[in-house]
Amino acid sequence: MKYRKFGNLDRKVSALGFGCMRFPVVGGDSGMIDEPEAARMLRYAIDHGVNYLDTAYPYHRGNSERFLGRFLKEGYREKVNLATKLPTWLIKAAEDFDRYLDEQLEKLQTDHIDFYLLHGLNGRNWASIRDMGVLKWAEGAIADGRIDCLGFSFHDTYEVFEEIVDAYDGWAFCQIQYNYLDQEVQAGTRGLHYAASKGLAVVVMEPIRGGRLANLPKSVTDILNRGAKKRTPADWALQWVWNHPEVSVVLSGMGTMEQVMENVASADESGPGTLSEGDLTAIAQACDKYRGLFLIPCTECRYCMPCPNGVWIPHNLSRYNLGALPGQLDLAREKYSGLNEGARASECIQCRECEDLCPQHILISEWMPRVHAVLGEGQPCTCSQ
C-alpha cells in the first residue's frame, strides 16, 4: 500500500480509503448490511494496508456506524483512522451537536473519532450551524478528546468552498467530490489547489462517479485504451485522481470483494505524476466523449432516499441514463419495468423534498415525468437536457 501525507498533520494515510456507504446488502435492503461479507472485505483491505475508514450517520439507514463499531472491536480499531460525520441537516439547536456526536461514539464503540466532518456543507447549512456555534463546540470536543481533527465534506460552488475554508484556521482537512468528469463541478480543481495551499488535507469522494466511470460505453473505453498501459476503466479513474499530489486519500465505496482486491492493487501502483502525457490526453478525450452521452449527474449516493412516496429515485435515474446510450434503450425499458410499480418514476408527486438533499442539485421532480414517459410509456428519448 502507498501512503500519503495528510495535510499539515504528522500522519500518513493509505492512498485508498474505504468508503462505508456501499457495503453489500441482503435482499436489496440498504439498511440490511451483509455483515459477514462486509467484514471479510474490510479485513482484506486493512490487512493489505488500508488505514482510513469513512462512514457517516445516515449511511445504510444508520447501520453503517453500528456495523463498524462491532467490526472494529475485533482488534482493528487501533489499525485505522476512523472518520464519520455530523448530520448537519438534522441540527436544530446547539444542544444537538453533543447529542449526535455522543450517539455516534456509542454506535462506533469508541471513545474518540480520528477525523470528524461537518457533513455535506453548502452555503445554507454552513451559515446555520456556524451561527449556532459549531466551531467553538468542536474545539471543546477536541479538547475533551472525543474528536482528534475537524474537517468538512462539501457540496456547493467554489465560491462557497473558499468562504468556508477561510472561515476557520482550525480545519485539518476537507472532503470534496473530484474525478475527471468533475474538474469544474463544486469545489473542483480550483478547490483542490486552494485547500492544499492552506495546508488542508484533501480527501476525495466519488472518484469513480458512483461507479459510473467503471462502466463506460465501448466508444469511451476505446479512447482510454490509447493510453500507454492497459487498465480497467475504474483503474483509469482512480489513477487520474491519485496523479494529483494535493490529494491525500481517495475514497472508494466498494460493494464487492472483487472491487476491494482490484482497488487495493490499483493503489499499490499509484502516485503523483505516474500518468504519462499520452495517458492524460486519452483521459481528456474520453472525458469529452462521455460528457456527450451523460445526461443526469446522479452518483447513486442515495442522499435523496427514502422518498416519502416510495419512489426509488437513483434506480430510475440510472435506467434513464442507460437508455440514453446508443443501442441501450430497450434494455433500459426492460430494467425500468422490472422495478416494483410503486418505486417507478410515475409515482413521483413532485414534492421536491429530495431536491433539498441532493448533493448534485438535480431537479429530480422535473426528471421523473420524463423518465416515465421514455421508459414506461415508450416515448422517444431525445437524449438532451
What pLDDT digit, counting tens, does each position of 45-85 carry? 999 999 999 999 999 999 999 999 999 998 999 999 999 99
Considering the chain, what is the average pLDDT of its residues? 92
Per-residue pLDDT, averaged over 361-374, amounts to: 88
Q: Which three cell numbers stand for residue 343?
A: 418505486
The whole-number pLDDT of residue 318 equals 82
Q: Mean of the pLDDT values across residues 164-177?
A: 97
How much is the pLDDT for 211?
Answer: 82
Q: Parallel, antiparallel, or unpaired: how do β-strands 3-5 and 12-14 relate?
A: antiparallel
Does residue 385 carry a pLDDT above 50? no
Top-confidence residue, 334 or 142: 142
pLDDT band at 381 (very low <50, low <70, confident <90, very high): low
Tell me the C-alpha distance between 291 and 324, whole Å: 12
Query: What is the arithmetic mean of pLDDT over 12-23?
Result: 96
Residue 294 has a pLDDT of 63
Beta carbons of 160 and 217 less than 8 angstroms apart: no
**Tens digit of pLDDT for each residue in 280-333?**
999 999 998 887 776 777 877 778 888 998 998 988 888 888 787 767 788 889
Grid cell at residue 42: 474490510
| Whether the Cβ atoms of residue 230 and residue 251 lie closer than 8 Å to each other | no
Lowest mean pLDDT among 130-139, 187-196, 369-378: 369-378
Q: Could you tell me how many residues make up the chain?
A: 385
User: Count of CB atoms within 10 A of residue 380's CB?
Assistant: 8
Q: Please report the pLDDT score of residue 218 as a whole number.
A: 86
Domains of the chain, earliest start first: 3-291 (3.20.20.100), 295-385 (no CATH)
Q: Is the pLDDT of residue 231 over 90?
A: yes
- CA distance to 74, 213, 227, 376, per residue, from 146 (Å): 21, 37, 47, 51
CA atoms within 13 A on the CB side of 237: 30
E strands, 186-322, are 201-205, 247-252
Chain-centroid distance of CA 59 in Å reads 11
Q: What percent of the chain has pLDDT over 90?
A: 69
**Percent residues over pLDDT 70 in the chain:** 98
Given a cut of 60, is residue 346 above it in pLDDT? yes
**pLDDT tens-digit profile of 264-294?**
999 999 999 999 999 999 999 999 888 777 6
pLDDT, tens digit, for every residue of 171-221? 999 999 999 988 988 999 999 999 999 999 999 999 998 888 898 888 889
